């Protein structure tokens, strides 16, 4: 990739419209990254609040993760887990 940047010559100038579009895209990504950081902080605060009320954060994260999964996929994983645990005597 560094070679690509080094091979750009003055004949490879981006048009004004493309520069504007590129700048717009980059600014949108930067705003979304900022929003993502704010949301991540909000989620962290909710987990802290839950912990303060005596809930097990590790289990809460697992429940959230499980709820994200498709029902059939979750059932398949649970069946395989049960099979494996049974196979080792658990």
For residues 18 and 28, the answer to whether their CB atoms sit within 8 Å is no
- Rounded (10°) angle between helices 57-68 and 16-52: 130
Judged by phi (left if over 0) then psi (alpha if -120 to 50, else beta), residue 54 lies in left
pLDDT(24) > 60:
yes
- What's the whole-model pTM score? 0.66
Q: What is the pLDDT of residue 3?
A: 59
The residue with tokens 């658990």 is 90
**Mean pLDDT computed over 74-80:** 96
Find how far residue 1's CA is from the centre of its chain: 25
At residue 37's C-alpha, the angle toward residues 35 and 39, to 5°, is 70
Structure tokens at 4: 């690509």
């Amino acid at each position: 990739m560094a070679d690509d940047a080094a091979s750009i010559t003055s004949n490879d100038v981006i048009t004004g419209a493309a520069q504007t579009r590129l700048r717009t895209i980059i600014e949108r990504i930067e705003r979304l990254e900022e929003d993502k950081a704010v949301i991540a902080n909000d989620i962290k605060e909710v987990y802290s609040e839950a912990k303060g009320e005596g809930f097990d954060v590790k289990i809460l994260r697992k429940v959230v993760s499980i709820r994200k999964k498709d029902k059939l996929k979750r059932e398949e994983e649970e069946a395989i887990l049960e099979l494996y645990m049974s196979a080792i005597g658990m």
